[in-house]
Amino acid sequence: MVKLNEIFPDPYSVHNSKRVGRGPGSGKCKTCGSGHKGQKARSRVPLRMTGGQTPITRLLPKVGFRRLKNKLHTTITTDQIMHAIEAHKLDKNLTLAILIERRIIHKNIKLCKVILGKVEFDSEIKFGEGIKLSRSIC
C-alpha cells in the first residue's frame, strides 16, 4: 500500500523557478533576460500590440447582433407552473399579467411560451392572453 509520505514527483518533472537579478554567477543578472532597451525590456507589452501594424481586433469584422425581440419573450415549463400552483402562488386561470404580478416572469416580457415538462400536467388550467402554448400541450 502506498503511503502519502512516500509519494514524490518524477525527478525531471518539477523544476525550480528562475531567480533573476541575483548576480553575474546566476546567468540572469543586470537585464534579467530581457535584453537591452526597447519596449519589452521596460515593462509588459499587451498581447494585442503589434507595433505599427493594425491590431487584429481592428482587422477582423464585428460579429453578431442581439435582437430586442429576444428580450421581450420567455419560455416557462409546465413543471414550473405546477410547482407554483402547489405552492399556492398561482390559480388555475393564468394570464401574462398574473405571472408578472406574482414575479414568476420579468415585468418587461410581452409573450410567454409554455412548453411541456416532466411533471404530469393538469388539463384544467386555463391560459389567457399573452401566453402561447407549444404543440405538445395542445
Q: Can you tell me the distance from the alpha carbon of 138 to that of 116, in angstroms, rounded to the nearest whole number? A: 10
Average pLDDT over residues 95-121: 85
Determine the Cα angle at 107 with ends 104 and 108, to 5°. 130
Which three three-digit cell numbers place residue 15?
Answer: 523544476
Quick check: 138 pLDDT over 60? no
User: Which pLDDT score, from 0 to 100, does residue 61 have?
Assistant: 92
Quick check: 3 pLDDT over 90? yes
Residue at grid coordinates 409554455: 114
User: Which pLDDT score, from 0 to 100, does residue 45 have?
Assistant: 77
Pick the residue with more confidence: 5 or 55?
5
User: Which pLDDT score, from 0 to 100, does residue 37 have?
Assistant: 87
Alpha-carbon distances, residue 121 vs 78, 84, 126 (angstroms): 7, 13, 12
Please tell me whether residue 69 adopts helix, strand or coil conformation: helix
User: Which pLDDT score, from 0 to 100, does residue 5 have?
Assistant: 92
